[in-house]
């Protein structure tokens, strides 16, 4: 997959998530959050009104710190595709 094709597939996956109106499992959202932040090169500090959620976000980012932006995009796309393939 070329870089341009990857960017298009990533944007499509993000749009699928944003267009979905049912709640997602919390662990799935954390993984999406971390891979999205890495894929978009967003290094702003995780924040939430609840310190525990901020800690979970920070931990999710820490767990993927050694992957590339392209790997993050690919994983994000796979997570989205698998979620919609296997959801009830």
- 67-78, pLDDT tens digit by residue? 999 999 999 999
pTM of the model: 0.91
Determine the average pLDDT of the residues in 37-63. Answer: 89
Which comes out higher in pLDDT, residue 18 or 42?
A: 18
CA 27 to chain centroid, in Å, comes to 11
What residues contact residue 31 under an 8 Å CB cut-off, 6+ apart?
60, 79
Q: What is the per-residue pLDDT across 20-37, written as a single tens digit (0 to 9) for each?
A: 999 999 999 999 999 999
Which tokens hold the place of 84?
């919609």
| The pLDDT value given to residue 49 | 84
List, in order of start, the domains of the chain with CATH numbers. 3-18+25-86 (1.20.80.10)
| The pLDDT value given to residue 88 | 54
């Amino acid at each position: 997959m070329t870089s341009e094709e990857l960017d298009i597939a990533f944007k499509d996956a993000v749009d699928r998530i944003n267009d979905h109106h049912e709640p997602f499992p919390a662990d799935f959202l954390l993984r999406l959050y971390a891979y999205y932040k890495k894929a978009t090169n967003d290094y702003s500090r995780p924040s939430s009104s609840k310190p525990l959620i901020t800690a979970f976000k920070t931990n999710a980012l820490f767990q993927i710190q050694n992957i590339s932006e392209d790997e993050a995009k690919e994983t994000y796309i796979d997570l989205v595709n698998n979620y919609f393939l296997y959801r009830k």
